[in-house]
Amino acid sequence: MVFANLTPTARGIAWALLAATAFTTVPISVRFLAPYLPAAEIVMLRNFIAVALMLPWVMATGWSGLKPNRVDLHLMRGTFNGIGMIFWFWGLAQIPVADAVALQFTLPLFALIFAVLFLGERVGIRRSGAMLVGFAGALIIIRPGFAEVGLATFAVLGSAALYAATLVVMRSQSQNDKPLTIMLWSNLFMALIAVIPAALVWVTPPAAAWPWLVFLACGGWLAHFSLTKALITIDAKIAAPFDYLRMPLVALIAYPLFGEFPDAPTWVGAAVIAASTAYIARRDARIARERRDAEAARPVPDA
């Protein structure tokens, strides 16, 4: 492996860069597939292909070693992820790719809201203010009243909210199952969730669509695998900023392919969202460090 000779920090950054690059394959592939197939069908086929790609590992491990400890969590995550992916893919076909990617940067903001609502996490005035600033950045991109706001915009924001809900579920999943087990069952449940909506709008995939479907499945798998490796190797606060490279990378690719380039409000809004989520992440890390230091300094009672 080319990363083997790097220091742990450099290796983690390399994985984060690879994850950001691999994530760009998803919106580009979906835009090429949109003229051929409905969004729900793309989601179903993408996830069944991803499961098929994991079969060699499944056969080597054995099904007994892949039995999930909490099926309900996998079903919940598959439902949130599957519906969110349908929204995401449908929205990508309707609005500029870079705009859609920029709006997805609101995901950490939705995750913070859900952590407060469902995990009882406390949010101070500074993090609340940063969260409002982040959503103001989304409004800069959307420009309500100055630009036409359609269902596709709300679909992309809805996908960010649903993906954020999966992060809340993952906090419990990571304590019960291994990452590859989570990936296998997540892809399987996402495919099954999409079966019925895909059947209602079914179109026989033409030969031209299959290479893009395989490319989409491989790119998505590589992105999630690389991100997992990055988060294992370096702190999330170091890895997170590299996620924002997705927008300029997508913009550079989308311009020659689709003739799309983000306008000034999109860049400004994306920068505002990135700054607010980065501030929240750094503040969370500092609070966690202070709590650890306080616990370490607490005197141990005599036995």
| pLDDT band of 48, cuts 50, 70, 90 | very high
- Structure confidence at residue 61 as a pLDDT band (50, 70, 90): confident
Q: Is 147 helix (H, G, I), strand (E, B) or coil?
A: strand
- State the pLDDT at residue 90: 95
CB atoms under 10 Å from CB of 135, counted, come to 17
Give the number of other Cβ atoms within 10 Å of residue 123's Cβ. Answer: 16
In percent, how much of the chain has pLDDT > 90?
27
The pLDDT assigned to 149 comes to 66
Task: Give the type of residue at 77.
Answer: R
Confidence at residue 3, expressed as pLDDT on a 0 to 100 scale = 61
Residue 261 has pLDDT above 80, yes or no: yes
Least confident of 7-16, 17-26, 113-122: 113-122
- Token representation of residue 3: 């990363």
Beta bridge partner(s), residue 147: 144
Most confident of 162-176, 230-244, 256-270: 256-270
What percent helix, strand, coil does the chain show, rounded to 5? 80, 0, 20
Helix (H) or strand (E) holding 101: helix 97-104
* Residues with Cβ within 8 Å of residue 9, at least 6 apart in sequence: 233, 234, 238
Count of helices and strands (H, E) across the chain:
14, 0
Per-residue pLDDT, 58: 78
pLDDT of residue 182: 76
Q: What is the pLDDT of residue 69?
A: 73
Higher pLDDT: 64 or 105? It is 105
Q: Is the pLDDT of residue 91 over 50?
A: yes
Cα 227 to the center of its chain, rounded Å: 10
pLDDT, tens digit (0-9, with 9 covering 90-100), for 271-295: 888 888 888 777 776 766 766 766 6
Average pLDDT taken over every residue of the chain: 82
The reported pLDDT for the residue numbered 303 is: 45
pLDDT higher than threshold 80 for residue 178:
no
Buried-exposed string 82-94: b where 16+ CB fall within 10 A, e elsewhere: bbbbbbbbbbbbe
Run of H or E including 272: helix 264-297
Q: Report residue 36's pLDDT band, with 50, 70 and 90 as the boundaries.
A: very high
User: In Å, what is the CA distance from 73 to each residue of 54, 83, 136, 156, 176?
Assistant: 20, 15, 33, 24, 10
Query: pLDDT (tens digit, 9 = 90+) per residue, 294-303?
Result: 666 666 555 4
